[in-house]
């Protein structure tokens, strides 16, 4: 529901800023600023309820930008394509998006969007926008849900606590990684898989992803349950598995890969089906899913690398 609301908001925002000139009025009525764009975002985000997981190891993004804020909205625009830098920055600072970036056509605009949901009363989104006259912009949006701006000091304290809590929780996940159920089986079947930590609805957990046959992407999400101090993992939630199939991969003018999925190749399943796959040595046919193993999709292997 939050993502749907933000998508509607984004559509109306694009209508407002582009006007009838194909992008000439973008940023009209906004304040201008320059310096470290990433630092400015982190300083502004707490007022709108965004939970920052960490401020350590974040890259500086020097730029000039335009911004505007209301009681529960924060909007920021930058000339050019800064989507890869901002995506990496937000993934570390706020947590990875729920899925890969999506492409949209709104009011004759091509855009690539990603949404970084939080559990702290706000949703964060960023996008690369190409107008019909060939101009490029990067957009950053926060939509808060009923969080008063006057509580900025409270949010600052909560962010400090969240960062400290997050560091402790990451250490706990490090310690539990080798013994976490399903994670070890996943890595045994697919040694090249990537293991990351992500923020779920009420806790952190494991997010494990692997590419298969240069055509499929398999993801497992395993929420962790911590002790009251978040120093140890004491249990786990139910794992969720997502399997998607690429139909094609094409790069836009900015060098960002746009993946079109085959809806018929999508499959979601749980631990019961996963157990059958593990017992069969990685054969997805045991759950009724037939993979194409000898037809790689062009560009799939390098789709995560901007060129």
Whether residues 6 and 146 share a domain: the answer is yes
Beta-bridged to residue 35, according to DSSP, are 63
Q: What is the structure's pLDDT at 252?
A: 75
12 pLDDT higher than 60: no
Q: How much is the average pLDDT of 132-146?
A: 75
Q: CA Rg, the chain, in Å?
A: 21
Domain presence at residue 157: no
The structure's pTM equals: 0.52
Mean pLDDT of the chain: 77
Contacts of 295 (CB under 8 A, 6+ apart): 215
Q: What is the structure's pLDDT at 294?
A: 96
73 contacts 142 by C-beta, under 8 angstroms: yes
Distance separating alpha carbons of residues 147 and 159, to the nearest angstrom:
15
Cα distances (Å, whole numbers) of residue 65 to 36, 100, 129:
10, 25, 15
Whether residues 187 and 142 share a domain: the answer is no
Burial level of 90, CB count in 10 A (0-12/13-18/19+)? Answer: buried
33 pLDDT higher than 90: no
Q: What is the structure's pLDDT at 95?
A: 83
Whether residues 124 and 250 share a domain: the answer is no
Domain presence at residue 272: yes
Domain presence at residue 280: yes
206 pLDDT higher than 80: yes
Domain presence at residue 134: yes
pLDDT band at 138 (very low <50, low <70, confident <90, very high): confident
Domain presence at residue 301: no
Task: Provide the 10 A C-beta neighbour count for residue 178.
Answer: 9
**Last residue of one domain, picked from the residues 151, 185, 212:** 151
pLDDT in tens, 149-173: 444 444 444 444 554 555 677 788 8
Distance separating alpha carbons of residues 18 and 26, to the nearest angstrom:
5
pLDDT in tens, 45-99: 888 878 888 888 787 778 888 888 887 788 888 888 888 888 888 888 888 876 6
Whether residues 141 and 9 share a domain: the answer is yes
Angle between helices 37-44 and 83-93 (to 10 degrees): 40
Which of helix, strand or coil describes residue 277? helix
């Amino acid at each position: 529901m939050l993502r749907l609301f933000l998508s509607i908001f984004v559509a109306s925002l694009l209508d407002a800023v582009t006007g009838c000139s194909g992008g000439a009025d973008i940023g009209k009525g906004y304040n201008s600023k320059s310096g470290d764009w990433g630092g400015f975002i982190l300083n502004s985000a707490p007022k709108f309820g965004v939970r920052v997981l960490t401020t350590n190891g974040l890259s500086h993004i020097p730029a000039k930008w335009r911004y505007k804020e209301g009681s529960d909205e924060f909007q920021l625009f930058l000339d050019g394509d800064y989507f890869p830098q901002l995506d990496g920055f937000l993934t570390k600072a706020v947590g990875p998006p729920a899925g890969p970036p999506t492409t949209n056509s709104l009011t004759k605009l091509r855009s690539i969007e990603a949404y970084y949901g939080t559990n702290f009363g706000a949703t964060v989104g960023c996008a690369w926008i190409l107008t019909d006259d060939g101009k490029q912009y990067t957009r950053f949006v926060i939509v808060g849900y009923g969080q008063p701006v006057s509580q900025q000091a409270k949010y600052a304290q909560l962010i400090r606590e969240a960062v400290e809590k997050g560091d402790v929780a990451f250490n706990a996940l490090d310690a539990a990684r080798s013994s976490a159920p399903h994670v070890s089986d996943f890595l045994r079947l697919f040694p090249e898989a990537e293991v990351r930590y992500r923020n779920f609805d009420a806790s952190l957990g494991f997010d494990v992803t692997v590419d298969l046959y240069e055509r499929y992407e398999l993801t497992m999400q395993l929420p962790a349950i911590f002790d009251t101090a978040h120093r140890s993992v004491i249990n786990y939630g139910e794992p969720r598995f997502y399997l998607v199939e690429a139909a094609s991969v094409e790069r836009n003018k900015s060098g960002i890969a746009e993946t079109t999925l085959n809806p018929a190749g999508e499959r979601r399943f749980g631990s019961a089906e996963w157990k059958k796959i593990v017992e069969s040595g990685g054969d997805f046919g045991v759950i009724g899913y037939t993979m194409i193993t000898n037809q790689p999709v062009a560009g799939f292997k390098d789709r995560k690398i901007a060129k």
